[in-house]
Amino acid sequence: MALIIFADDLTGAMDTGVKFSRSTSPVIVLSDLNSLELKDNGIYVLNTNTRNLGKESAYLVLKAILRNIKNSNKIIYKKIDSTMRGNVGSEIRAFIEETDINNVFICSANPSQGRLIKDGILFLEGVKVEDTSSGKDSLKGINTSEVIKIISSQIDMPVYHVIEEKIKYFSLNLQEFN
């Protein structure tokens, strides 16, 4: 079965694609999904180039791409920026609307790179992400480190923070969030 990975910029696409370099399946990084016929196996990493678009434009780009692969038997993975730059919420909205996905789990933490979420606040090397160079990015910076606020500002759907203890020690019953 093929895997399609969506990344909102080339750096994210390459960073994710390299993780599969030891796979026995070929890894192909694309900037246009229409430029290649998807096979039943392989790893396709698509740079959607939506990071710096407005939230509605990013949503429409993802929606169109997903509509074209809707009935294919592929595994889909959405790579997000670990500092939450880009259009995370609006792109998730496109995934929910164009796939059979009902619930989405987002984990922007990446401890090996100093990205941690504590009590719903995203930190980069111990500093709130809004106070870092990533947060102050002139094209797509963020004005809050609260993950729920970042996502909620782009999507008109409920967003919840699930504490680590809930994930570790209890089976997660998604019905309690609906």
Mean pLDDT for the chain overall: 84
Supply the pLDDT for residue 166: 65
Residue 105, φ and ψ in degrees, nearest 5: -110, 130
pLDDT at site 168: 59
Residue 175 is predicted with a pLDDT of 44
* Ranges under pLDDT 50 in the chain: 170-178
CATH code at 7?
3.40.50.10840
pLDDT the model gives residue 172: 46
Residues 149-168 pLDDT 10s: 999 998 888 888 877 666 65
**Considering its fold, how many domains does the chain have in total?**
1
39-43 long-range contacts (CB < 8 A, ≥24 apart) are: 39/2, 40/1, 40/2, 40/73, 41/1, 41/2, 42/2, 42/3, 43/2, 43/3, 43/5, 43/17
Tell me the residue range of the domain where 23 lies.
2-177
What is residue 177's predicted lDDT score, i.e. its pLDDT?
A: 42
The confidence score (pLDDT) of residue 35 equals 66
85 contacts 110 by C-beta, under 8 angstroms: no
Q: Which of 161, 145, 16, 127 is nearest to 84 (CA)?
A: 145
Q: Please give the pLDDT value at position 17.
A: 93
Q: Is the whole model's pTM more than 0.85, yes or no? A: no
